[in-house]
Amino acid sequence: MEARAIVTLRNRYGLHARPIKMFVELTNSRDSEISVTKGDRTVNGKSILDMMTLAAAMGDDLEIVAKGDDAERAIDDLRRLVESKFGEE
């Protein structure tokens, strides 16, 4: 099964260390393979280092794709995390 979503970063500092840690902890709690795309760069959503290379800032759109048995649940949880502004505001 595959699920996908496009989310917009709304937290003031975008994807810095704390939000990336939260994102990767959530992705690693799911069985699905998860990738994140910003522009023309796609990275492994389960890797802190890969996620940092996106240099995603407030207002940037990210496409999240999950492939696996829990893909829809993973996408729903990740969408909620991003929409919550990672609890920063």
Residues marked active site are found at 16
Element (H, E) at 4: strand 2-8
How many Å separate Cα 10 from the centre of its chain?
Answer: 13
Tokens of 60: 């940037």
